[in-house]
Amino acid sequence: MSLEEVASSSEDEVPDRAEQTAATLERIFAACFAEAYRTVLVGGGDEPLYVPSPEPESSPHRIVYRADYFASALHEVAHWCLAGPERRTKEDYGYWYAPDGRSADQQAEFERVEARPQALEWLFSDACGFDFHLSADNLEGGFGPSERFEAAVAAARSRFLEEGLPDRAARFRDALREAFVPSRG
């Protein structure tokens, strides 16, 4: 599907109270960002990955999320909303990532860089009435979220609430609220 098809298909397809599906998130994301940022949200990945396009005018940048998981889509959008222009030119924003089965040192580094994205994911989850679950993303390594990580995510969330969200994150959060929270009238 071309960028224009994604953006135009999103205009009328989000009902008054949207279903909590990853496909709905794709349409909301497209309505917010497809044209201005030449970026689309795409499910079905074996692993999440940001793929910048060498020619965004003809082929959009892609935020690929795991399978059709709602939480994965929210999380990957959180990373995109935090990545600056230079980071968005690099695959997976140029960040280090070690797969499941990380050592204790690798897990500590993962937690250091993941607090802000998970805090933003939490705010996105709140905006659409979806339960947020902190993720250590290390099932094989046997590490759950540490207390330090839990505190860091909660602190980052509080900072976002007090200081405001980055522009793209605020726009997406507001669109989620509009789509998922019934009107009070």
Whether residue 126 lies inside any domain: the answer is yes
Q: Which residues of the chain have pLDDT under 50?
A: 1-16, 184-185
Whether residue 13 lies inside any domain: the answer is yes
pLDDT digits (tens, 9 = 90+) for 1-47: 333 444 444 444 444 455 678 999 999 999 999 999 999 999 999 98
Whether residue 185 lies inside any domain: the answer is no
Give CA separation, 132 vs 88, 118, 119, 123, 153, in Å: 26, 9, 10, 9, 12
| Torsion, Cα of 48, 21, 5, 17 (10° steps) | -140
Whether residue 135 lies inside any domain: the answer is yes
Question: How many domains does the chain contain in total?
Answer: 1
pLDDT of residue 81: 98
Alpha helices in 11-163 (DSSP H): 22-37, 70-82, 104-127, 147-163
Structural domain of 41? 3-180
Query: How would you class 111 by CB atoms within 10 Å of its CB: exposed for 0-12, middle for 13-18, buried for 19 or more?
Result: buried
User: Would you say the C-alpha torsion 115, 120, 121, 126 has a positive or negative sign?
Assistant: positive
pTM (2 decimals)? 0.85
Beta-carbon contacts of residue 146 (< 8 Å; ≥ 6 apart): 107, 108, 111, 136
Whether residue 49 lies inside any domain: the answer is yes
Whether residue 46 lies inside any domain: the answer is yes
**Type and span of the H or E element at 63:** strand 61-66
pLDDT of residue 94: 86
SS (H, E, C) 163-181: HCCCHHHHHHHHHHHHHHC
